Amino acid sequence: MREALFVKQNATKWEQYESMQSSSPDELADRFIAITDDLAYAKTFYPKSKTTAYLNGLAARLHQSIYRNKREKRGRFITFWKQELPLLFKKHEKPLLYAFLFFIIFCLMGALSAKYDDTFVRLIMGDGYVNMTNQNIENGDPFGVYKKMDAFEMFFYIAINNIWVSFVAFVLGVFFSVGTVYMLIRNGIMLGSFQYYFFSKGLGWDSVLVIWIHGTLEISAIVIAGAAGLVLGNSILFPKTYSRMDSFRQGAKDGLKIVIGLIPIFIIAAFLEGYVTRHTSMPAWVSCSILATSLAFIIWYVIIYPNRLHQSITLSSANGTENRI
């Protein structure tokens, strides 16, 4: 499409959006999404034009209008979980994919290292943990580690620790994403070697049924926290048409919101680890049901729902534009 035609088709909408005569957070969010879609199109086909510069400025003003510090309505909490967080997942789907790929690759590297080096698991997990697990296996209770601590104490400790780890993974992104990638590498190698250890003992399927009851949510949330760190780091490395400081501020806000959004997931995972995983002899169908439900939730909330929500908002915005025309 020629630039002149593109401008003609959207000029009325842009003029209305520029006036910003709306106090509705939902309406402002709809406008912001529509403008960012137009901006992405303009950057692709008219990267150095005045139209692109204009849309970039308009998007920045809309963003500030939405996120400036102000008194929030009572429904703000619900809106965050129902719209804002899913739309952030959609907006930053590439960092999410990169974080996932980094993690999977280094999980495989950890498993291969453990397979070809008998000392690798001890190097990663520590002699104390390996010796204790070997003793538990000899005693016929290979996952006894989950029964040693009081359920509430375990729940509280694990929840706090995982939330802390997620914030560290996010903050380390300020070092041009390198710090976050290091955290993904470290946790990926640890998980890969840890999981291979049980497979090498003939306990692979049993370990999946026990460990992944809580691990599905916990590991998924750590990967997403890594994506938040990449959002922060990439905002410094690739400011695009924004100033580096403006890009950093936006990346920091988006990444922090993602990490905060993970807190309930970590709490649920910690609850499962503290109160459910310790029942290592539960029927396989119960374990599979919990695992499958957790995985389905992550896939739906992080991938499927954000895409459907984005399509719905975009379609509604387009229909509104057509009606005005």
For 110-161, what is each residue's pLDDT tens digit? 999 999 998 999 999 999 999 999 999 999 999 999 988 899 999 999 999 9
Question: Do the Cβ atoms of 222 and 162 come closer than 8 Å?
Answer: yes
Sign of the Cα torsion 296, 297, 303, 306 reads positive
pLDDT of residue 118: 86
| Distance in angstroms between the alpha carbons of the first and the last residue of the chain | 19
The C-alpha atoms of residue 174 and residue 180 are separated, in whole angstroms, by 8
Q: Which residues contact 9 (CB under 8 A, 6 or more apart)?
A: none
The C-alpha atoms of residue 310 and residue 90 are separated, in whole angstroms, by 7
Mean pLDDT within 47-73: 72
Q: Which residues contact 200 (CB under 8 A, 6 or more apart)?
A: 114, 115
Residue with token string 């387009």: 318
Question: Do the Cβ atoms of 28 and 65 come closer than 8 Å?
Answer: yes
Mean pLDDT within 293-308: 97
Using the predicted structure, report yes or no on whether residue 325 has a pLDDT greater than 70: no
DSSP 72: P
Instruction: Return mean pLDDT, the chain.
Output: 88
**Among 214, 212, 218, 197, which residue's Cα sits nearest to residue 142?**
197
How does DSSP assign 129-186, residue by residue? HHHHHHHHHHTT-TTGGGGSS-HHHHHHHHHHHHHHHHHHHHHGGGTTTHHHHHHHHH
pLDDT of residue 3: 81
- Confidence band for 305, pLDDT divided at 50, 70 and 90: very high
- Confidence band for 304, pLDDT divided at 50, 70 and 90: very high
What six digits make up the tokens of 34?
Answer: 């529509």
pLDDT of residue 39: 83
Using the predicted structure, report yes or no on whether residue 88 has a pLDDT greater than 70: yes
Tens digits of residue pLDDT in 203-260: 999 999 999 999 999 999 999 999 999 999 999 999 887 888 989 999 999 999 999 9
The burial of 78, by beta-carbon neighbours within 10 Å (0-12 exposed, 13-18 middle, 19 or more buried), is given as exposed
> Rounded to an integer, what is the distance from CA 252 to the centroid of its chain?
14
C-alpha distances in Å from residue 26, one per residue of 22, 33, 38: 10, 11, 19
